[in-house]
Amino acid sequence: MAFPHNLVTRGAWFVSASVAVILVARGLGRDDDAPVSQVTVVNLVPEILPERAMEWDAHLVELENVIVALTMIGDDESVVEGFTLTKTMDVRVTAVGEGTGGQMHDYGAILDAATQRPVWTMDMRATHHAGGADKNRMIDEMVSLEAGSYLVYYETDGTHSYGDWNSEEPWYPELWGITVSSHAPIDREVVRPYDDRANDAVLARIVRVRDDEYLEQRFTLDRAAELQVYAIGEGDASEMYDYAQIEDARTGRVVWRMTYRETEHAGGAAKNRVFDAFMRLEAGEYILVYQSDDSHSFGDWNSAAPEDRFNYGVTILRR
Protein backbone atom coordinates (compact mmCIF):
# COMPACT_ATOMS: atom_id res chain seq x y z
CA MET A 1 0.00 0.00 0.00
CA ALA A 2 1.49 3.37 -0.99
CA PHE A 3 0.80 6.48 1.04
CA PRO A 4 0.70 9.96 -0.57
CA HIS A 5 3.86 11.76 0.57
CA ASN A 6 2.20 15.09 1.32
CA LEU A 7 -0.36 13.29 3.45
CA VAL A 8 2.20 11.29 5.36
CA THR A 9 4.54 14.15 6.24
CA ARG A 10 1.67 16.10 7.78
CA GLY A 11 1.03 13.19 10.13
CA ALA A 12 -2.16 11.89 8.50
CA TRP A 13 -0.94 8.31 8.45
CA PHE A 14 -2.40 4.83 8.82
CA VAL A 15 -0.36 1.64 8.73
CA SER A 16 -2.12 -1.20 6.95
CA ALA A 17 -2.07 -4.73 8.31
CA SER A 18 0.46 -5.79 5.69
CA VAL A 19 2.87 -3.02 6.69
CA ALA A 20 2.28 -3.22 10.42
CA VAL A 21 3.61 -6.76 10.78
CA ILE A 22 7.08 -5.32 11.33
CA LEU A 23 5.88 -3.20 14.24
CA VAL A 24 5.37 -6.12 16.58
CA ALA A 25 6.64 -6.62 20.09
CA ARG A 26 8.07 -10.01 20.91
CA GLY A 27 9.37 -9.82 24.45
CA LEU A 28 10.53 -6.41 25.60
CA GLY A 29 14.29 -5.95 25.93
CA ARG A 30 15.93 -2.99 27.65
CA ASP A 31 18.47 -1.07 25.56
CA ASP A 32 21.43 -0.13 27.76
CA ASP A 33 22.73 2.48 25.31
CA ALA A 34 20.09 5.17 25.88
CA PRO A 35 21.73 8.40 24.65
CA VAL A 36 20.94 10.55 27.70
CA SER A 37 19.56 10.04 31.20
CA GLN A 38 16.15 11.50 30.40
CA VAL A 39 15.44 8.77 27.83
CA THR A 40 14.52 5.16 28.51
CA VAL A 41 14.53 2.86 25.48
CA VAL A 42 12.85 -0.51 25.06
CA ASN A 43 13.42 -2.47 21.84
CA LEU A 44 10.28 -3.86 20.22
CA VAL A 45 11.52 -5.58 17.07
CA PRO A 46 13.01 -9.06 16.66
CA GLU A 47 14.77 -10.07 13.46
CA ILE A 48 11.71 -10.97 11.39
CA LEU A 49 12.08 -13.43 8.54
CA PRO A 50 9.84 -12.76 5.51
CA GLU A 51 8.40 -16.25 5.51
CA ARG A 52 7.42 -15.94 9.18
CA ALA A 53 6.32 -12.30 9.21
CA MET A 54 2.60 -13.02 9.16
CA GLU A 55 2.90 -15.22 12.27
CA TRP A 56 3.39 -12.17 14.49
CA ASP A 57 0.49 -10.31 16.07
CA ALA A 58 0.49 -6.87 14.47
CA HIS A 59 -0.42 -3.65 16.27
CA LEU A 60 -1.80 -1.02 13.94
CA VAL A 61 -0.51 2.52 14.22
CA GLU A 62 -3.66 4.46 13.49
CA LEU A 63 -4.08 8.09 12.56
CA GLU A 64 -5.17 9.19 16.02
CA ASN A 65 -2.01 7.62 17.55
CA VAL A 66 0.52 9.38 15.30
CA ILE A 67 2.47 12.30 16.76
CA VAL A 68 4.87 12.88 13.85
CA ALA A 69 5.34 10.90 10.62
CA LEU A 70 8.15 11.73 8.19
CA THR A 71 8.07 8.86 5.70
CA MET A 72 8.71 8.01 2.04
CA ILE A 73 11.77 10.28 2.13
CA GLY A 74 13.79 10.63 -1.10
CA ASP A 75 17.45 11.37 -1.85
CA ASP A 76 19.22 14.37 -0.33
CA GLU A 77 16.39 15.35 1.98
CA SER A 78 16.50 16.85 5.46
CA VAL A 79 13.09 17.06 7.10
CA VAL A 80 12.07 18.06 10.61
CA GLU A 81 8.86 18.47 12.58
CA GLY A 82 8.38 19.31 16.25
CA PHE A 83 6.02 18.49 19.09
CA THR A 84 5.64 19.40 22.76
CA LEU A 85 4.85 17.16 25.73
CA THR A 86 3.29 18.63 28.86
CA LYS A 87 4.30 15.59 30.93
CA THR A 88 6.51 12.51 30.69
CA MET A 89 5.26 10.10 28.03
CA ASP A 90 6.29 6.80 26.45
CA VAL A 91 6.38 7.15 22.66
CA ARG A 92 6.98 4.58 19.96
CA VAL A 93 9.75 5.37 17.48
CA THR A 94 9.79 3.44 14.22
CA ALA A 95 12.46 4.24 11.64
CA VAL A 96 13.72 2.63 8.43
CA GLY A 97 16.92 3.76 6.73
CA GLU A 98 20.26 2.88 5.20
CA GLY A 99 23.42 1.85 7.03
CA THR A 100 26.76 0.24 6.22
CA GLY A 101 30.06 -0.25 8.02
CA GLY A 102 28.58 0.61 11.38
CA GLN A 103 27.31 4.02 10.18
CA MET A 104 23.80 5.16 9.25
CA HIS A 105 23.53 7.13 5.99
CA ASP A 106 19.73 7.61 5.97
CA TYR A 107 18.64 7.95 9.58
CA GLY A 108 16.30 9.53 12.08
CA ALA A 109 16.79 11.29 15.39
CA ILE A 110 14.85 13.12 18.10
CA LEU A 111 16.39 16.36 19.35
CA ASP A 112 15.72 18.40 22.46
CA ALA A 113 14.25 21.53 20.87
CA ALA A 114 15.86 23.89 23.38
CA THR A 115 19.43 22.61 23.08
CA GLN A 116 19.18 20.92 19.63
CA ARG A 117 21.08 18.01 21.17
CA PRO A 118 19.91 14.48 20.38
CA VAL A 119 17.97 12.54 23.01
CA TRP A 120 17.50 9.58 20.68
CA THR A 121 19.32 8.57 17.51
CA MET A 122 19.02 5.71 15.04
CA ASP A 123 22.11 3.81 16.16
CA MET A 124 23.31 1.24 13.62
CA ARG A 125 24.12 -1.19 16.46
CA ALA A 126 20.50 -1.24 17.60
CA THR A 127 18.95 -1.73 14.17
CA HIS A 128 17.65 -4.89 12.49
CA HIS A 129 17.67 -5.96 8.87
CA ALA A 130 14.66 -4.40 7.13
CA GLY A 131 14.57 -6.86 4.24
CA GLY A 132 16.03 -6.57 0.76
CA ALA A 133 19.60 -5.28 0.61
CA ASP A 134 21.68 -5.82 3.75
CA LYS A 135 22.04 -2.05 4.16
CA ASN A 136 18.29 -1.61 4.71
CA ARG A 137 17.97 -1.15 8.46
CA MET A 138 15.03 -0.65 10.81
CA ILE A 139 14.42 0.10 14.45
CA ASP A 140 11.23 0.07 16.53
CA GLU A 141 11.54 1.16 20.15
CA MET A 142 9.58 2.56 23.05
CA VAL A 143 11.23 5.74 24.29
CA SER A 144 10.31 7.58 27.50
CA LEU A 145 10.52 11.36 27.03
CA GLU A 146 10.22 13.93 29.78
CA ALA A 147 7.98 16.98 29.48
CA GLY A 148 9.42 19.41 26.96
CA SER A 149 9.67 20.21 23.27
CA TYR A 150 11.27 17.91 20.72
CA LEU A 151 12.23 17.94 17.05
CA VAL A 152 11.85 14.77 14.98
CA TYR A 153 14.52 14.74 12.28
CA TYR A 154 15.27 12.56 9.24
CA GLU A 155 18.21 12.91 6.86
CA THR A 156 19.08 11.05 3.64
CA ASP A 157 22.20 11.00 1.47
CA GLY A 158 22.29 11.10 -2.32
CA THR A 159 21.56 7.43 -3.07
CA HIS A 160 19.22 4.57 -2.18
CA SER A 161 16.04 6.05 -0.80
CA TYR A 162 12.30 5.88 -1.36
CA GLY A 163 11.46 5.73 -5.06
CA ASP A 164 15.09 5.50 -6.24
CA TRP A 165 16.70 2.37 -4.81
CA ASN A 166 20.19 1.39 -6.03
CA SER A 167 19.88 -2.04 -4.40
CA GLU A 168 16.94 -4.21 -3.43
CA GLU A 169 14.29 -2.17 -1.59
CA PRO A 170 13.24 -3.01 2.00
CA TRP A 171 10.17 -5.15 2.69
CA TYR A 172 8.14 -2.06 3.55
CA PRO A 173 9.52 0.86 1.49
CA GLU A 174 6.65 3.18 2.52
CA LEU A 175 8.14 3.33 6.03
CA TRP A 176 11.46 4.80 4.81
CA GLY A 177 11.77 7.62 7.33
CA ILE A 178 10.72 8.00 10.96
CA THR A 179 7.38 7.83 12.76
CA VAL A 180 6.68 8.78 16.38
CA SER A 181 3.41 7.51 17.82
CA SER A 182 1.64 6.75 21.07
CA HIS A 183 0.14 3.44 22.25
CA ALA A 184 -3.32 5.02 22.37
CA PRO A 185 -5.16 7.94 20.76
CA ILE A 186 -3.30 11.16 21.47
CA ASP A 187 -4.39 13.30 24.39
CA ARG A 188 -4.15 16.84 23.00
CA GLU A 189 -3.64 18.19 26.51
CA VAL A 190 -0.42 16.15 26.71
CA VAL A 191 0.82 16.30 23.09
CA ARG A 192 0.76 19.78 21.61
CA PRO A 193 2.13 21.48 18.48
CA TYR A 194 5.66 22.83 18.76
CA ASP A 195 6.14 26.61 18.82
CA ASP A 196 9.76 27.69 18.40
CA ARG A 197 8.94 31.15 19.73
CA ALA A 198 8.36 29.63 23.17
CA ASN A 199 12.09 28.90 23.57
CA ASP A 200 13.20 32.05 25.38
CA ALA A 201 16.66 30.69 26.20
CA VAL A 202 17.87 30.82 22.59
CA LEU A 203 19.08 34.26 21.56
CA ALA A 204 20.49 33.28 18.16
CA ARG A 205 21.14 29.99 16.39
CA ILE A 206 22.78 28.84 13.14
CA VAL A 207 23.06 25.06 13.04
CA ARG A 208 23.30 22.13 10.62
CA VAL A 209 25.59 24.21 8.44
CA ARG A 210 26.59 22.71 5.09
CA ASP A 211 29.49 23.32 2.66
CA ASP A 212 30.30 26.78 1.35
CA GLU A 213 27.86 28.73 3.49
CA TYR A 214 28.05 32.23 4.94
CA LEU A 215 25.13 32.70 7.34
CA GLU A 216 24.11 35.60 9.55
CA GLN A 217 21.60 36.19 12.30
CA ARG A 218 21.06 39.46 14.17
CA PHE A 219 20.27 39.75 17.85
CA THR A 220 19.86 42.63 20.27
CA LEU A 221 20.70 43.03 23.96
CA ASP A 222 18.76 45.67 25.86
CA ARG A 223 21.35 45.52 28.63
CA ALA A 224 24.69 43.84 29.30
CA ALA A 225 24.34 40.09 29.68
CA GLU A 226 26.31 36.90 30.37
CA LEU A 227 25.74 34.55 27.44
CA GLN A 228 26.66 30.96 26.65
CA VAL A 229 28.23 30.42 23.22
CA TYR A 230 28.21 26.85 21.91
CA ALA A 231 29.91 26.39 18.53
CA ILE A 232 31.16 23.38 16.58
CA GLY A 233 33.41 23.68 13.54
CA GLU A 234 36.46 22.43 11.68
CA GLY A 235 40.05 23.45 12.16
CA ASP A 236 43.66 22.60 12.91
CA ALA A 237 46.49 24.32 14.70
CA SER A 238 47.04 26.71 11.78
CA GLU A 239 43.48 27.98 11.28
CA MET A 240 39.74 27.36 11.52
CA TYR A 241 37.97 26.37 8.29
CA ASP A 242 34.39 26.27 9.59
CA TYR A 243 33.90 28.81 12.38
CA ALA A 244 31.64 31.34 14.11
CA GLN A 245 32.11 34.95 15.06
CA ILE A 246 30.12 37.80 16.62
CA GLU A 247 30.23 41.28 15.11
CA ASP A 248 29.08 44.65 16.40
CA ALA A 249 26.26 45.49 13.98
CA ARG A 250 26.91 49.24 14.20
CA THR A 251 30.69 49.29 13.67
CA GLY A 252 31.36 45.92 12.02
CA ARG A 253 34.02 45.18 14.64
CA VAL A 254 34.53 41.49 15.45
CA VAL A 255 33.95 41.16 19.19
CA TRP A 256 34.55 37.39 19.29
CA ARG A 257 35.86 34.79 16.87
CA MET A 258 36.14 31.02 17.22
CA THR A 259 39.86 30.17 17.24
CA TYR A 260 41.56 26.79 17.42
CA ARG A 261 43.37 27.70 20.65
CA GLU A 262 40.07 28.29 22.47
CA THR A 263 38.42 25.07 21.26
CA GLU A 264 38.50 21.44 22.32
CA HIS A 265 38.14 18.17 20.43
CA ALA A 266 34.45 17.66 19.51
CA GLY A 267 34.68 13.89 18.97
CA GLY A 268 35.15 12.06 15.70
CA ALA A 269 37.93 13.38 13.47
CA ALA A 270 40.65 15.40 15.21
CA LYS A 271 39.70 18.46 13.16
CA ASN A 272 36.23 18.62 14.75
CA ARG A 273 36.42 21.44 17.29
CA VAL A 274 33.98 22.75 19.90
CA PHE A 275 33.80 26.02 21.84
CA ASP A 276 31.49 26.01 24.87
CA ALA A 277 31.92 28.92 27.26
CA PHE A 278 30.28 31.99 28.79
CA MET A 279 31.04 35.53 27.72
CA ARG A 280 29.76 38.97 28.61
CA LEU A 281 28.41 41.30 25.94
CA GLU A 282 27.38 44.90 26.47
CA ALA A 283 24.00 46.25 25.40
CA GLY A 284 23.73 46.72 21.66
CA GLU A 285 22.92 45.07 18.34
CA TYR A 286 25.08 42.20 17.12
CA ILE A 287 25.43 39.90 14.11
CA LEU A 288 26.14 36.22 14.64
CA VAL A 289 28.08 34.84 11.66
CA TYR A 290 28.99 31.30 10.65
CA GLN A 291 31.19 30.51 7.66
CA SER A 292 32.11 27.09 6.22
CA ASP A 293 34.52 26.00 3.50
CA ASP A 294 33.87 23.51 0.71
CA SER A 295 34.26 20.25 2.62
CA HIS A 296 33.40 18.39 5.84
CA SER A 297 30.15 19.84 7.08
CA PHE A 298 26.72 18.68 8.17
CA GLY A 299 25.38 15.92 5.95
CA ASP A 300 28.62 15.57 3.94
CA TRP A 301 31.45 14.63 6.29
CA ASN A 302 34.77 13.62 4.69
CA SER A 303 36.02 12.24 8.01
CA ALA A 304 34.27 11.02 11.16
CA ALA A 305 31.49 13.41 12.21
CA PRO A 306 31.58 15.24 15.58
CA GLU A 307 29.63 13.70 18.43
CA ASP A 308 27.03 16.48 18.37
CA ARG A 309 26.59 16.66 14.59
CA PHE A 310 23.14 18.27 14.80
CA ASN A 311 24.61 21.41 16.37
CA TYR A 312 27.30 21.87 13.74
CA GLY A 313 27.27 25.65 13.70
CA VAL A 314 26.70 28.04 16.60
CA THR A 315 24.08 28.73 19.27
CA ILE A 316 23.93 31.65 21.72
CA LEU A 317 21.91 31.06 24.89
CA ARG A 318 20.86 33.36 27.68
CA ARG A 319 22.44 32.26 30.93
The 10s digit of each residue's pLDDT in 255-306 is: 999 999 999 999 999 999 999 999 999 999 999 999 999 999 998 899 988 9
Q: Where in the chain is the domain with CATH 2.60.120?
A: 200-318
Mean pLDDT for the stretch of residues 66-81: 92
Q: Is the pLDDT of residue 80 over 50?
A: yes
Asked if 126 and 141 touch (Cβ cutoff 8 Å), the reply is yes
Q: Is the pLDDT of residue 7 over 60?
A: no
CATH topology for 200-318? Answer: Jelly Rolls (2.60.120)
Determine the pLDDT at residue 41: 53
Determine the pLDDT at residue 61: 61
Determine the pLDDT at residue 273: 98
Strand partners, 228: 278, 317
Which residue type sits at 17?
A
Asked if 290 and 206 touch (Cβ cutoff 8 Å), the reply is yes
Mean pLDDT for the stretch of residues 185-208: 88
Q: For residue 308, which phi and psi values (nearest 5 degrees)?
A: -100, 65
Q: How far, CA to CA in Å, does 95 sit from each of 4, 122, 136, 160, 275?
A: 18, 8, 11, 15, 32
- Label residue 196 exposed, middle or buried (CB < 10 Å: 0-12, 13-18, 19+): exposed
How many percent of the chain have pLDDT more than 70? 80
Q: Is the pLDDT of residue 26 over 80?
A: no
What are the pLDDT digits (tens) for 205-236?
999 999 999 999 999 999 999 999 999 999 99
Q: Is the pLDDT of residue 32 over 50?
A: no
Asked if 68 and 79 touch (Cβ cutoff 8 Å), the reply is no
The average confidence (pLDDT) of the chain is 83
122-127 long-range contacts, CB within 8 A, separation 24+: 122/95, 122/97, 122/178, 123/33, 124/99, 125/33, 126/31, 126/33, 126/43, 127/99
Q: How confident is the model at residue 161 (pLDDT cuts 50, 70, 90)?
A: very high
Q: Minimum mean pLDDT among 62-66, 96-100, 155-159: which range?
A: 62-66
Q: Is the pLDDT of residue 55 over 90?
A: no
